[in-house]
Structure 1
Amino acid sequence: MSSPAVMIATARIRPGAEDAFAAWKGRYDAVVAAFPGFNSSDVLPPGEHDDTWTILLNFDSKEHVTAWQQSGERAAILAELTPLTIGGGLGEVMQTESLDAERPGTTVTQVIFSQIKPGMEDGYREWAARMQQAQARYPGYQGTYLQPPAPGGFHWITMLRFQTAEQLNAWMAAPERSAMLKEAEAFVEGEELLRLATSFPGWVRINPETGKGPPDWMTALLVLLGLYPVVALELLYLNPLLAGLVPALGVFIGNVLSVAATSFLTMPFLVRNFDWWLFTDLKRSDRATAIGLAILAALFAVEILFFVWLFKWHSG
């Protein structure tokens, strides 16, 4: 077959028909997602001086795009759209080259991984279309990319684009979004967000409800709790083995091992067990924060006392 192809579909929606269009978009996504060769869809809202919505359909080949254009499924779903548009229907043009150079540049992208309850996929598509309609009304919105799970996979991938981090944060914290997330609990089993929005990307997840990570000082305390025993053990057991090396090389090897142990051993363990503290409900934040700090203080004391004893024991 030929190389991947993209279908560009545009529609001018009648004033007041935005909610009906969102519901139609959910049905449209369900139909095209079941079509052979479909990979993903991307939605771009109207610009500041425009009233045209753009839908990008990504297929694995030109042949599958052509088959979609000629299908009865497409004809039936487009017939439902006609009353909602100005001038009728969806205009479509095939594009076989990459669209990366043509898409508007974006400053910040939020990636959302959603696991949908079995049998609730259609409900999720309809909800996602309404969510997209809601976020499109917020300043800085640049578009949404929605990709169903790959064969054998579980996660739907949504990429939400805004011009600035501040504008994205405003949407993530909006009461309207919180209300829609409550509605989504009926069919979303789990959700994780990915954005370089903390000082420790990759170690600590982002809160799905707020779109923010925990305070940096909390994460820093966990880093210290996990890093201290690693460095202490290196001083006791690794440094004697590296004594014959050039100091710069010995320090480098020690740092590599420290970073690896912190990234793959101590931080995953600590973040998992202190998740309740890092992402405390606002209603009980003060009490939970105090409890977490008390536990950390006790653990720091245990670590220090243990290594005081261990260093003395080694020194003989």
Structure 2
Amino acid sequence: MATVFITGESGTGKELCALAIHDNSARATGPFIALNCGAIPQDLLESEVFGHVKGSFTGAISDKPGAATAADGGTLFLDEICEMAPALQTKLLRFLQTSTVQPVGATRPRKVNVRIVCATNQDPLDAVRRGAFREDLYYRLFVVPIHMPPLRDRGEDVIEIAQAALHRFSVEEGRNFAGLSGEVETLFRNHPWPGNVRQLLNVIRHVVVLNDGGLVTLPMLPESLPRSVQPPPAPAAAAPTDPASSGYVLDSLIGRPLAEIERIVIEATLARFDGSVPKAARALELSPSTLYRKIEGWRGA
């Protein structure tokens, strides 16, 4: 089956997306094995992915199958794939090409049937350009790309996610909440949510644990969450597209810093596509994650 490459900022729900892909595939009855490549020391990552045999290195007191073998018949989710060491990237590429696993210290490979879903909060193309990620591995993995947009760009999703979390946490904690007040909904819509869905869930959990129920009001929210948030500025107006005006547009850009010109072009393209980052990214031949990062940088400036 085709590999899936999920991109998006930290906290946008990339693992939940991977799990949804697994649950809605023909492999749903098989195992779903998740491995965070950034959370495991590089000298142990090969053993975690491919396993090892007893005595293959100090501390290997018994055979270990590894995540790739454990996922046989199901899905192997490799989170933070761009954190993988170059030497292991080579072995992962061979695994993708041959569907065989050779544990550390083993003399014979084993055939497995695994679907790979990977994710990163980096721009994978930028990692390729920097030489941190193999180009051939990138093209082998980047077959079905999925971008998880940040929560601040998901409109009314923030309210639906908050309400669903409020209901779920209320059941878990034995509380009885009626919903969100209008002031809280307005605040949630305008807040930039730098921690994305993970931060929103943390806020809702805080409310449910420390309050008895009723309507969620502003005083119930954690003090760390600003009570007054300015809505993000509207995208700048698109540059004129009339050929007769092209000379004027060029004259208006001459002498400006390149970074400022880049921002003008990006904001004009966003305006052309009604603020849609994925559409603007395709028009500019950029990855959506690159565009999101630039926009976030401007907001924080």
RCO higher in structure (CA 8 A, sep ≥6) = 2
In proportion to residue count, which structure has more strand? 1
Fold in common (TM above 0.5): no
| TM-score bracket for the superposition, by shorter chain length | under 0.3
The structure number with the bigger radius of gyration is 1
- TM-score, structure 1 as length reference: 0.24
